[in-house]
Amino acid sequence: MFRLAGLATSVSCKRGLTFTTIAAAARSDKSSMRLFAHSSTATQTQAQTHPQAHHTQNDDNFQDKSAPLRADIKLLGRALGDTIRARDGQATLDRVEELRALSKAWRRNGTGESFDALVAAVHRLDATQMHSVARAFSHFLALANTAEQHHRERRRRSARIQEAAAHAPPPNPLSTPTGFGASAPAKALEGAQPGMLNSTTAAGVLRELTQGSAPGFDQPAPVVVDANAVFETLCDSTVELVFTAHPTQVHRRTTQRIFVSVAAALAQRDRTELPEEIAAAEDDLRRQVALLWTSDEVRREKPTPVDEAIAGLHVAEQVLWEAVPRYLRSLSLRMEQLLGRPLPHHLSLFKFGSWLGSDRDGNAFVTPDVTRDVILRGRWMAAELFYHDVDALYYELSVTSCNEALQRHIGKQTVAEPYREVLRVLREKLRLTRDLARQQLQSLGQSSILTHGGAYSPHPAETATQAGSLPASSSSRSDASPSLVTCSNDILEPLELCYSSLVDVGLANVAQGRLLDTLRRVRVFGSALFHWDIRQESTQHAKALDAITRYLRLPVSYGKMTEAERVAFLTAELESSRPLIPFAFTRDPAILAWLREQFPEDANMIVDVIDTFQMISEQHPEVLNAYVISMTRDPSDVLAVYLLQKAANVRVPCRVVPLFETVNDLDNCVGVMRRLLDNRAYRRIVNGFQEIMIGYSDSAKSAGRVAANWAIFKAQQGLVTLFEDANVRLRLFHGRYVSMGLV
């Protein structure tokens, strides 16, 4: 078998790419490479195309753990070959088959003659033929990757079935159901991977912690941890995954959906033994392969920051929305089995952050308007998804009895269906919130910011203001409407009342169904699906403060201050009660004219920085997660962001996260943070908690991976010691990137 970390989404007609693609296919498993069989799939027997049927005819072959995978790849290869023949003709398929045979011969023989024959065959292709051949091999590799991912899940599932059977008590013949309605026991796939459920899964980790793991080279004897300690530690943990935008590593959502459908059809084919259902699943596979071959692999327009954010929101909607509660339900079951207690219903363990549409470091197209837009889209999508969840709960919870707390919340003496009354009100709030967000998006859509990717506007707040923005929060805005959802608590509180009431009246099993899944979604996704980080480079803040101090005619402008003078100035301003600048600083035509005259090259950037903090002041604190400062090198870099938030009247400041990413910055980060910890204004603001981001890419590029990893290790070790001594909680944010294929 072969494994590819990523698949190219664009196909070039250059011979180099064509040869590379063919060579990659040649390195595949020999039997799996029979990808474009000339015989039609209609003539294949069930035993040849279905793993379970194949098992009945050839037990020895089925013992090979890869046999079902090879069957899947052959089926997909035949479907692709049939599609190529039908769409591009037999001649195209013959060329692909010729190159496949030559590449296999070179792989088998390793001789110069074999290689020369393959190169000569590639050189005989014209540009159009080369394009078709490259697409054929590229699509086959992508389909084979999908089949392999499905096979891993198939083997993991089989391992879980075997594990459950091994730990299950012996059946009681008096209580085991028989006859009509009795379910057959789940069957495990022979050849399930040993150790599949080890430390790579939650169940494996919990079992190793509480029951001991096998001794290793650095562990002479198993170590057993008390189950209560494991439970408390797990409940006190939170994992936050942050989505970032890397346009060079993304795939089209169109092709991603096709591969998801292929995996679903393979799974459906595994779950049934009925011939008509097997045939239907294989028909669906052939349809998806035909769609893949006839769809464009690349975007013809450069994605905008809004496009990237929409792609991330679709991942939340189409994948995470169902996966998160399902995983938490599975984890809770494992905790109950291995630790004696399930996951408490009020804990989620997960959060999702986002830099999509809010990472402006080096990206001039990410403006305050763009960030407003993507946050608004997140709120609209969250309201839409929660609306459907609450609507389903409304029709499910027809229960007539409730506790006193729920009755008091309703405020009526006689309500036949109290849960539906509460859910009806919440559903209406979600509908109004969703509709208002949609209206705002439609209004914003008339501007160039959405249609052309972000030409700079000197007045970024005006569009949202004219559209009638969603209120920031009922606690920070006096005009907040009680009929709208402004934060997750507006959804959480009525649902918690329903949950507690159901438990109190003896319906805990009902409360722990759909309602519990919705409660967990609220805690994970909040009111905007993601918690957005703002990121900007440190020198941009310094330029903005230099412009402000020059406009205020201070004796020494910020740009000419020493580091000690900057820290003294920032500390004094943070402790002062007067505002640093007028609230509408960048909306004054005279000030804008002065900025463009004094800073002809940086005026737009300065306005953008100041307006970004104005945008932050408009958002609910729940929506914005942190402000990350790239290239943090001095204490003033951190204090400057706190001062700019104060100047913009941000009532609940975003936590400021310094990012240390070069080797020099990693070496100096402990000293920078020590000086900050000695600053009285800083200690008051952070209130005993600091998050620090550790960068990986820049340090590796400048010093190499070994030196970079050593610098990262030393930095983390020094920071942990420093903050422990200062009695300040420290959280490390690791900037290691994995491509998700979003666009």
**Positive or negative: CA dihedral 572, 576, 580, 583:** positive
Task: Look at the block and give the residue holding tokens 């109190």.
Answer: 504
Give CA–CA dist 44/289, Å, rounded.
Answer: 18
Is 50 a residue of the active site? Answer: no
Rg, Å, the chain Cα set: 30
User: What DSSP letter does each residue of 229-277 carry, written as one string?
Assistant: HHHHHHHT--EEEEE---GGG---HHHHHHHHHHHHHHHHHHT---HHH
Tokens of 174: 């008096």
From the CB of residue 607, how many other CB atoms can be counted at a distance below 10 Å?
Answer: 27
Give CA–CA dist 368/465, Å, rounded.
Answer: 13
Strands (E) across 185-237 are located at none
Tokens of 719: 């920071």
Residues in the chain: 743
According to the 3-state scheme, what is the secondary structure of 668-697?
HHHHHHHHHHCCHHHHHHHCCEEEEEEECH
From the CB of residue 496, how many other CB atoms can be counted at a distance below 10 Å?
Answer: 17
- Name, in order, each residue with C-beta under 8 angstroms of 601's C-beta and a sequence gap of 6 or more: none
- Name, in order, each residue with C-beta under 8 angstroms of 355's C-beta and a sequence gap of 6 or more: 242, 243, 244, 245, 532, 533, 535
What Å distances lie between residue 430 and 385, 531, 728, CA to CA?
9, 19, 39
Cβ proximity of 240 and 693 under 8 Å:
no
Task: Look at the block and give the residue holding tokens 């022979």.
Answer: 190
**In this structure, what are the phi and psi dihedrals at residue 343, rounded to the nearest 5 degrees?**
-65, 125
Write down the catalytic residue from 38, 55, 123, 246: 246
The rounded Cα 433 to chain-centroid distance in angstroms is 25
Partners of 627 in the beta sheet?
A: 534, 656
Tokens of 209: 């912690």
Give CA–CA dist 93/91, Å, rounded.
Answer: 5
Cβ proximity of 673 and 641 under 8 Å:
no
Task: Identify which of 588, 579, 586 has the alpha carbon closest to the alpha carbon of residue 647.
Answer: 579
The rounded Cα 386 to chain-centroid distance in angstroms is 19
- Name, in order, each residue with C-beta under 8 angstroms of 238's C-beta and a sequence gap of 6 or more: 348, 349, 350, 351
Partners of 657 in the beta sheet?
A: 628
**What is the pairing mode between strands 531-537 and 239-243?**
unpaired
Give CA–CA dist 694/716, Å, rounded.
Answer: 8
- Residue 630: in which H helix or E strand, if any? strand 624-630
Tokens of 520: 């967990």
Give CA–CA dist 638/665, Å, rounded.
Answer: 14
Task: Identify which of 713, 730, 719, 711 has the alpha carbon closest to the alpha carbon of residue 666.
Answer: 711
Q: Using N-to-C axis directions, what is the helix angle for 460-467 and 368-396, rounded to 10°?
A: 30
Q: In terms of C-beta distances under 8 Å and separation of at least 24 residues, what long-range contacts does 110-116 make, across chains too?
A: none
Task: Identify which of 259, 452, 303 has the alpha carbon closest to the alpha carbon of residue 369.
Answer: 452
**What is the pairing mode between strands 624-630 and 531-537?**
parallel
Instruction: Please list the active-site residues.
Output: 246
